[in-house]
Amino acid sequence: MLLALSSSSYAQFPLKFKEKKQLNLTKYDRRMFHFGFSLGMNYSDIAVKLKDNIQALDSLYVVEPKGAVGFNLGIVSDMRLGEHFNMRFIPGISFVGRSMEYTLYERDTVPVVYDKVVNSVYLEVPLYFKFRSRRINNWRVYILGGGKFLYDMATKEDVQTDEVILKMKREDYTWDLGVGVDFYLEYFKLSTELRMSFGINNLLVEDQTVFTNSIESLKSKTFLFSIYFE
30 φ/ψ angles, rounded to the nearest 5 degrees: -85, -15
Of 7-11, 111-115, 157-161, 213-217, the range with the highest mean pLDDT is 213-217
pLDDT at position 5 over 50:
no
pTM over 0.85: no
Q: Which of 198, 184, 226 is nearest to 28 (CA)?
A: 184
- What pLDDT was estimated at residue 1? 47
Question: Is the pLDDT higher at 5 or at 197?
Answer: 197
Name the residue ranges covered by the structural domains of the chain.
Answer: 27-229
pLDDT bracket for residue 155 (50, 70, 90): confident
- What pLDDT was estimated at residue 10? 47
pLDDT digits (tens, 9 = 90+) for 85-101: 999 999 999 999 888 88
* Domain 27-229, CATH: 2.40.160.20
Contact 172, 145 (CB under 8 A): no
The residue count for the chain:
230
- What pLDDT was estimated at residue 117? 86
pLDDT at position 3 over 50:
no
